[in-house]
Structure 1
Amino acid sequence: MDMPFMESQGAGPARRTVLGFGSLVVGLGLLSACTPSAGPTPDPTAPSSDPATVPGPVITATLATGLDTPWSIAFLPGAEALVSERDTGAIRSIGPAGTPVVATVPGVVHGGEGGLLGLAPSPDFTSTGQLFIYYTAVDGNRVSRFAHSRAGLGPEQVLVSGIPSASIHNGGRIKFGPDGYLYIGTGDAGQQDAAQDIGSLGGKILRVDPDGAAAPGNPFGSLIFSFGHRNVQGLAWDASGRMWASELGPDRDDELNLITPGTNYGWPLVTGAQADVRFEPAAHVWPSTADASPSALAIDDGVAYVAALRGERLWTLPLPTRGRENAGGGTLSGSTEYFQGEYGRLRDVVRAPDSSLWIATNEGSSSRILRLVPGRG
């Protein structure tokens, strides 16, 4: 459960620093200096003839510190990384020059879990410079499009408005799918019945074209792609083009779901993987929210990486290779947890252009960006 009072844990004097940009990551021009740890750090890319000796994920660098509640990391062409700060409304650039503010989104209203949330550059960003932003405004959550450049943000074009907002359950993750359409994860904003209401945008995954209209083929002829969600926090696609979403449960049953169009995922009538033919069971369930409270989701080489808030750890879950077989029923075999309590609450995890993963922690004004090499354990 994403508890608002925990969002400020770890807050301290703000620091805007980037550490150790002395060595370059190939293709990124960013640091790969190791974070100090006890003993030598194994090379997770080294070959091994014994699968049992292949290491799991390894944190290889702290890329930035002193960020104020970062929420979303987005890579632009050329490997520049942007990070949204939920509470300040600022967008920062992460690179050798530090963490300068490159834009401040007008009209952001912070409160509890609301504020500046997801970022998603357009697939044709190189030619258009279009940046899509999910944020909480005075009249609810919305998704807007801006032209982004070195000069900052151009005029706002509101694409989707009227997404319910509250101090909790604001959703906020936006991603462009392999089909070129924008997918938007929303929350029920504390109005549980909204998740089952096809007339409400709350508790849904939406699918829209770059102008905010319903994407062709949407199952209800509206913006809605799937429904019955409590608070979608992560969206990602595997190599087969299947869509997965991580979702916060109430006091139990956090979920990883395989998403298909028009499907009802049960909230608030059921949670987890209950055998009710009216609803799609979760592919994986964490029965205790103390172990997970999943936020963002990234998929690399057939493995789902799930950042946990209350659980303060990173989960890895090997995904079934095709179809829907073994994708429901509540347990994906081989799930493993890493870094429990080492880096605090984890908010975002994204795949970088050099195939590493970047993680944003959720520690108030002491938040960090970490670089992780996935490993193949």
Structure 2
Amino acid sequence: MKRAVIVGAGIAGLATALRLGRDGWHVLVVERAPGRRSSGYMVNLIGPGYDAAERLGLLPALSASQLGLFTTVLVHADGRAKFTVPAAIAEAALGERAMSVFRGDLETSLYEAARDLADIRFGTTVVSVEQDTDRVRVEFSDGTTEHADLLVGCDGVHSATRTAVFGSDFVVDSPYLVAAFPLDHPVPGVPESSATTFIGPGRTAAIVNLGPQRSSAFFTYRCADPGVDLRRGPVDALGAAFGDLGGGVPEAIRHLEKDPDNAYFDAVSQVVMPRWSTGRVVLLGDAAWCVTLFAGHGAALALAGADHLGAALRRHGDDLPAALAAWETGLRPEVSKRQALARRGMLQYAPPSRFHVWINDLTMRAITLPGVSNLVRKGIERANR
């Protein structure tokens, strides 16, 4: 029986464990965190991500957690509405094969599906990695050692696996910070089944109200020194960057004070590598190709990457180099496209000037016009193929 070690029990790691486990591999997953994470921000599964979720058998479990579509209200700094983008516009743009869920619900579905197919160890890290043509030897912080056919690094943008095996020169930082977190209850001032979104020079704040346990907040802003704000923590940093806003923003930040660790709060960085594998070690998900939240396809690409990796390994049998080469060749064009879209997306989420805000508003207003929405839908369909 072939053996695989997977580092990281997030979406990429659990999806890989699920796919390889179903294909008959003996799978060990190690995760630095002491236990499962149940929170997280909203993710969209469209295109290859939706297809992968379907092939992995996740759709029935995820259907109960689906968030559905909602109206977007663009607002002024004080919370007054500028204009509304109907939910029908998003529905036309995304198409029928799309699903929006919280990251925590996706991870839960993956964990429930994978836990009987893999040995999952929490509170465990990799101490050393050695490999030859036949095996990879992995030593863990709990004192155990595993000899495997394949090591898969799924430990995120700050991947220790990538640093240990490939080096540390692949992270491309940008002067932006992003925060996203769930809300236990709707924020006052945000209409039901809608999101209020403020977009100003260098920053965006969005509050989504889909009811109790189904609401969330998203913030991003340009920052001269992201490291300073990261050390301050999300509550202080967001308060300083968005404290002048109305429209539910102050209430969302006060909500975060109860549990600051419940937020995803990090610098916006991409990972750009010439190769995602070397020998018997391969990186997958954000560890290999982080596209950032600006791209909106991180979870979808993680699912697709895991599913396609399993397919390539099965197709090429014992020829691991051929399998990894074919997998990367098939996936890289989509990743490159999403990374390029993310770089352009920075101008939408953090416009450099009031003029750029005005142009963005004009574009979004135009989308609501008769006939234009169909053109947008067709364009997004082409982008998601």
With structure 2 as the length reference, what TM-score do the two structures score? Answer: 0.26
Instruction: Pick the structure with greater CA Rg.
Output: 2
Which structure carries more helix by proportion?
Answer: 2
With structure 1 as the length reference, what TM-score do the two structures score? Answer: 0.27
